[in-house]
Amino acid sequence: MIQLDKVNKWYGDYHALVDVTETINKGEVVVVCGPSGSGKSTLIRTLNRLEPIQSGQITINGQDIHRRGLDLNEFRSHIGFVFQQFNLFPHLNVLENCILAPARLRGLKPAEAKARSLALLERVGLAHKATAFPSELSGGQQQRVAIARALAMEPPLMLFDEPTSALDPEMVGEVLLVMRDLARDGMTMICVTHEMGFAREVADRILFMDAGQVLERATPDDFFNRPQSPRAQKFLSDIRTPFAVEF
Amino acid sequence: MLDLIHDYWLYFLIGQYPNGPFGGLGLTLVLATSGLLLSLPLGLIFGIARISPFRIIRWPITALVYLVRGTPLLMVIFWAYFFLPSITGHKTDQITTMLTALVIFDGVYLAEIVRAGILGLPKGQLECARSLGLGYFEAMRFIILPQALRSMLPSLVNQFISTIKETSLGYIIGLTEVSFIASQINTQVLTKSTQVYFILGLTYFVLCFSLSRFAYWLEKALQRTRSQKAAA
């Protein structure tokens, strides 16, 4: 479904993505992990062109996403993106947050868009909050609404950029559960996350990144039990035994 | 001073109307209000152009903003008064001239308010709207501007206050707004300059002071809803 071919990105002199070549299949759940600044978020943001790339090629469903004449808005409307900071629209209530894009872009009738959004809110367990404003929700609830809002466009692909990193610890679980259910329903998902439990249980494949390169691509079992690269071995031991750092 | 008010209050409020041109404090308020309302769309366009990703749009508007901000309003009024007729070919009346000058001048200041209002929002809002597939202008219209305008309200009231004071410069082109009327009264009465201009000053002050209290109240009210929301 997605092919990256020798993708390179620089921020000024900083080489953020180095010759990234990768294939992601339909229905696959891929978790991207790695230390801060390793290029995980940058990678996922290039996939819906929130970040431009300087060289290489990205194709989705056989089409180069940087080709001339691409309708960028139409293209983006088929990719769900969930941000670390939720980014709910604070002046709209929960239901309006979900309805806006499908009503504007898919030409749905208001009643239709409303019914669909309510069904999705039901799915993330928040139908009873439909008329609440984002500021009245907890972080976990906001993120679940953000997921429902992305799903309202019925995208075949969902991208998650550290969806639980801005949450209080007790709210991480509710968001991960929604994501797990989504994965079980067969959604193609790419998740940048530090939640190793989620990676182990839900991911089909794990990409480990460091310094803009994908160092490791493995099943969760292989990655957690038999990491190949020294960098991945160190990363895993650091998160398992955080107090073993030598000063 | 009371007899002064007693004799001239109606003239002070509406000028010679209905036996002559409408003027006085009424004209001042009409000018300030319509000036602000008309410059609002201009300010929106300029403000958005100021942060446009396209240089070809951003640069000329930025230049215009700097040009007008670096010029006293009096200059802009003179331009409107002398320059405008030379391009349109016929003489414009004082109200239109003043309004033109005010709209250009305010439009530029509003552009900066709009720009600050938009840039004050978290970057993720636009990014998120775009990631859903909304175009730039759709995102502006439905997501960015409704939020930005709300936070701009106190600044808009402050701009309105400035505009009220700015209309006094219409005096220079013979516009019968309240300062002009006051000086007319002064010429008629001759002996009470201090009182006449004291009343004029007091009028401006009461108007602008109450508006600036209103702006302050608005600011607090907005902050309150924001912190209430944050606390909830």
Evaluate if residue A143 carries a pLDDT over 60. Answer: yes
Nearest in space to A208 (alpha carbons), one of A198, A194, A189: A194
Nearest in space to B229 (alpha carbons), one of B221, A122, A97: B221
**Sequence-ordered alpha helix ranges (H) in chain A:** 40-46, 72-76, 94-105, 110-123, 139-151, 169-184, 196-202, 220-225, 230-240
- CA B214, CA B154: separation in Å to the nearest integer? 8
Domains of chain B listed by start with CATH number: 2-231 (1.10.3720.10)
Question: Is A87 close to B122, i.e. CB distance below 8 A?
Answer: yes
H or E stretch covering A6? strand A2-11
Is residue A69 within 8 A of residue A24, CB to CB? The reply is no
Its ipTM equals: 0.91
H or E stretch covering A206? strand A205-210
For A70-114, the DSSP string reads --HHHHHTTEEEE-TT----TTS-HHHHHHHHHHHHS---HHHHH
Evaluate if residue B230 carries a pLDDT over 90. Answer: no
The per-residue pLDDT for range A84-141, each reduced to its tens digit, is 999 999 999 999 999 999 999 998 898 999 999 999 999 999 999 999 999 999 999 9
pLDDT at B190 (0 to 100): 87
Angle at A219 between CA A216 and CA A223, to 5 degrees: 55
Partner residue opposite B124 with nearest CB, options A48, A83, A153:
A83
Backbone angles phi and psi of A131, in degrees to 5: -100, 5
- Suggest the residue from B126, B128, B134, B141 to mutate for an interface test with chain A (most A CBs closer than 10 A): B128
Is residue A78 within 8 A of residue A157, CB to CB? The reply is yes
H or E stretch covering A60? strand A55-60
Instruction: Give the predicted TM-score (pTM) of the model.
Output: 0.86
Distance to chain B for A105, nearest Cα, Å: 7
Partner residue opposite B125 with nearest CB, options A50, A76, A87:
A87
The per-residue pLDDT for range B166-199, each reduced to its tens digit, is 999 999 998 999 999 999 999 998 888 999 999 9
Residues near A242 by beta carbon (within 8 Å), at least 6 away in sequence: none
H or E stretch covering B157? helix B145-166
- CA A193, CA A214: separation in Å to the nearest integer? 15
Q: How far is the CA of B191 from the CAs of B12, B16, B197, in angstroms?
A: 18, 22, 12
Residues of B in contact with A89 (CB under 8 A): 125, 128-129, 143, 147
B214 forms beta bridges with none
Question: Is B132 close to A101, i.e. CB distance below 8 A?
Answer: yes
Q: What mean pLDDT is predicted for residues A58-73? A: 93
Question: Is A50 close to B146, i.e. CB distance below 8 A?
Answer: no
Residues of B in contact with A79 (CB under 8 A): 131
pLDDT at B7 (0 to 100): 86
Partner residue opposite A100 with nearest CB, options B125, B142, B232:
B142
Nearest in space to B148 (alpha carbons), one of B157, B137, B140: B140
Residues near A142 by beta carbon (within 8 Å), at least 6 away in sequence: A86, A88, A134
Evaluate if residue B209 carries a pLDDT over 60. Answer: yes
Question: Is B132 close to A90, i.e. CB distance below 8 A?
Answer: no
Q: Residues of A at the B interface (Cβ-Cβ below 8 Å)? A: 48, 50, 73-79, 81, 83, 85, 87, 89-91, 100-101, 104-105, 133, 135-136, 149-150, 153
Is the minimum CB–CB distance between B230 and chain A shorter than 8 Å?
A: yes
H or E stretch covering B35? helix B24-50
For A130-157, the DSSP string reads TTS-GGGS-HHHHHHHHHHHHHTT--SE
Question: Is A73 close to B135, i.e. CB distance below 8 A?
Answer: yes
Structure letter (DSSP) for residue A2:
E
Is residue A164 within 8 A of residue A172, CB to CB? The reply is yes
Partner residue opposite A104 with nearest CB, options B125, B138, B232:
B138
Residues of B in contact with A136 (CB under 8 A): 229, 232
Evaluate if residue A244 carries a pLDDT over 80. Answer: no
Backbone angles phi and psi of A217, in degrees to 5: -135, 115
Evaluate if residue B228 carries a pLDDT over 80. Answer: no
A4 forms beta bridges with A22, A58
- The letter for the amino acid at A132 is A
Is the minimum CB–CB distance between B124 and chain A shorter than 8 Å?
A: yes
Nearest in space to A150 (alpha carbons), one of A92, A83, A200, A207: A83
Residues of A in contact with B137 (CB under 8 A): none
* Residue A192, Cβ density class (10 Å: 0-12 exposed, 13-18 middle, ≥19 buried): buried
The per-residue pLDDT for range A14-39, each reduced to its tens digit, is 999 999 999 999 999 999 999 988 99
Nearest in space to A91 (alpha carbons), one of A143, A140, A141, A133: A133
Residues of B in contact with A83 (CB under 8 A): 124, 127-128, 131
The per-residue pLDDT for range A188-233, each reduced to its tens digit, is 999 999 899 999 999 999 999 999 999 999 999 999 999 999 999 9
